[in-house]
Amino acid sequence: MHCGSVDETWRTISDMTAEHQITYIDLKKVMARTAKGKTSIYQEIKAGTFPAPVKHGRLSRWIEHEIDEWCAQQALSHRGVASEIRPRRRQSTPQSRLSGQPIAA
C-alpha cells in the first residue's frame, strides 16, 4: 500500500474540531499568502507576532486557519480597526541565553 509522499500526507491530514477542519500548509504557501519572506516569517515567530508552525520531525507546517486569521488581523490593523484576533504563541521550555539548555523549574 502506497501512502504517498510526506508532503501529500501533510496536505491531507485533517482533524475535526468543534469549529473547523484543520488543514496544514507549507512555508511556500505561507510566504505566498502573507507576501513575506522566510527570514521575516521566522523573525516574527521568534518575536511572538506570527503563528508558529507545527513540527513533525524535520518538517514545519502551519495551520491554515491561523495564517488566515493573522492575515485578517493585519488587514484590519492597516485600516485602523482594533481586532481581538491574536496569534497564539506556542508554549516552549525556557532556555538559558548562554548555554541554550532548558532552565530547571
| Residue 42: inside a domain | yes
85 within domain boundaries = no
pLDDT at 80: 78
CA 22 vs CA 6, 9, 34: distances in Å? 17, 13, 19
Strand partners, 16: 21
Q: Does the global pTM surpass 0.95? A: no
Segment 8-18, tens digit of pLDDT: 444 544 444 44
Identify whether 65 is part of a domain.
Answer: yes
CA–CA gap between residue 63 and residue 55 (Å, rounded):
11
Name the strand (E) or helix (H) holding 61.
Answer: strand 59-63
Total of domains in the chain:
1
Question: For residue 29, what is the domain's CATH number?
Answer: 1.10.238
3-state secondary structure of 44: helix
Answer yes or no: is pLDDT of 40 > 60. Answer: yes
The whole-angstrom separation of Cα 68 and Cα 65 is 5
Range of the domain at 57: 6-78
Q: What is the pLDDT of residues 61-101, one digit of tens each?
A: 999 999 999 999 998 888 776 545 555 555 555 555 555 56
